[in-house]
Structure 1
Amino acid sequence: MRQTSEAEYSEFAQSVWPQLYRSAVMIVRDRQLAEDLVQIALVKTYIAWPRLRETGKASAYTRRVMVNVAHDWFRKRSWTHEDTVNTAIDAEAHAGDHAAALVNRVDLADLLRTLPLGQRSVLALRFLDDLSVQETADILNITTGTVKSQTADALAALRTHALVVTEGSHHD
């Protein structure tokens, strides 16, 4: 890679890192794994840089790689099932625990934990990355209708969970 390309890539990587990392943390709920995913995405972008920098599509490409790698990671590890089981166990252990309900109410990460991977990905891209429905659909390789329904389902689930937790915290 030419020296100007190296400098351009370095500037690009530094500029997209914070947003990619924030989205990755929301999607995978693990800071170390999120860092790994962003690094993998940036390495793949580096390899493809000569063709990406000229078309100006590096950001979308990098974001798509990061999301795809995250989804692949979960599929290979079957973490979604494991996490659902742990969440159910935690909920039972803290049933009726007023302090736990208050903590859950203010902790968005706990709310997001209740959502499936696809819904977390849609929320991260739509609301953290401020992407359009079409851009989100393109990155996730799904239809715009699926983006809209997953967004609606995710927000409804978050509202329901927040309402249940809030109502539970008002019992004296």
Structure 2
Amino acid sequence: MDQREEQEFAEYFVARREAVRRMAYMMCGDWHRADDLAQTAFIALHRHWRKVRDKGALDAYVRRTLTRAVIDESRRPWRRERAAETLPDSPVDDPDVDDSVSTRQTLMAGLRKVPPKQRAVLVLRFLEGLDVAGVAAVMRCSEGTVKSQCARGLATLREALGDELGDLRSA
């Protein structure tokens, strides 16, 4: 790449890195993995920067690359580790915790229980604001698949949130 192309990529990276990182976090539920996944998406974009004809479609390219990376990463054997029931160090209960923080934590705990493809559909559909056709284009599947994965993902999320809210009520 020449200097001008490097500068264009650097400007795009600076402008979009936090949004891509947040989207990755919503898909995987772990900030460290989100950093790695966002980096993977930006590396793929940098590698193909010269081939991108429509610079207006960069967000779509990064979104698709990120979604594929999340799904591929979930298939790797070391990602099948199971979390322990209790953490070795429990956090101190703070009565001043804001409701939005506890709601976000509950949502993220629920999202972690949704399978990766369904989670990706939910994040793209409801948090990124894509329509069914847009999600189908990103995930390279049919609109029917998006609809069914969305329905199943929402059912799993509702069940998980019911469990999470039940745990909070019994505490």
Q: Would you say same fold, with TM above 0.5?
A: yes
Code of the aligned partner of 1:60: A
Q: Is the 8 A contact 1:49 1:58 kept in 2?
A: no
Q: Is the 8 A contact 2:13 2:42 kept in 1?
A: yes
Moved over 6 A (4+): none
Q: Is the 8 A contact 1:104 1:111 kept in 2?
A: no
Between Structure 1 and Structure 2, which shows a larger proportion of helix residues? 1
Q: Say how many residue pairs are matched.
A: 158
Q: Which runs of 5+ in 1 are unaligned?
A: 92-98
**Superposition pairs for residues 83-94 of structure 1, below 5 Å?**
83=82, 86=83, 90=85
**SS at 1:107 equivalent:** helix
**Superposition pairs for residues 71-150 of structure 1, below 5 Å?**
71-77=71-77, 79=79, 81-83=80-82, 86=83, 90=85, 107-150=106-149
Q: Kindly tell me: are residues 60 and 164 of structure 1, through their superposed partners in 2, closer, same or farther at Cα, counting changes over 3 Å?
A: same
Separation in 2, partners of 1:73, 1:37? 9
Separation in 1, partners of 2:73, 2:48? 22
Aligned residues: percent identity?
32
Higher mean alpha-carbon deviation, 54-63 vs 35-44, is at: 54-63
Q: Kindly tell me: are residues 152 and 16 of structure 1, through their superposed partners in 2, closer, same or farther at Cα, counting changes over 3 Å?
A: same
Q: Is the 8 A contact 1:71 1:117 kept in 2?
A: yes
Cα root mean square deviation, aligned: 2.7
Q: Kindly tell me: are residues 171 and 109 of structure 1, through their superposed partners in 2, closer, same or farther at Cα, counting changes over 3 Å?
A: closer
Q: Kindly tell me: are residues 106 and 68 of structure 1, through their superposed partners in 2, closer, same or farther at Cα, counting changes over 3 Å?
A: closer
Q: Normalising to structure 1: TM-score of the pair?
A: 0.77
1:21 aligns with 2:21: yes
Q: Kindly tell me: are residues 169 and 62 of structure 1, through their superposed partners in 2, closer, same or farther at Cα, counting changes over 3 Å?
A: closer
Higher mean alpha-carbon deviation, 124-133 vs 48-57, is at: 48-57
Q: Is the 8 A contact 1:25 1:34 kept in 2?
A: yes
Separation in 1, partners of 2:160, 2:139? 26
Deviation at 1:121, TM superposition (A): 0.6
Separation in 1, partners of 2:165, 2:31? 28
Q: Normalising to structure 2: TM-score of the pair?
A: 0.77
Q: Which runs of 5+ in 2 are unaligned?
A: 87-92, 94-101
Separation in 1, partners of 2:103, 2:81? 20
Q: Is the 8 A contact 1:104 1:110 kept in 2?
A: no
Deviation at 1:24, TM superposition (A): 0.9
Report Cα offsets for 1:24-45 as digits up to 9, x if no partner: 1122222111111111111110
Separation in 1, partners of 2:168, 2:46? 49
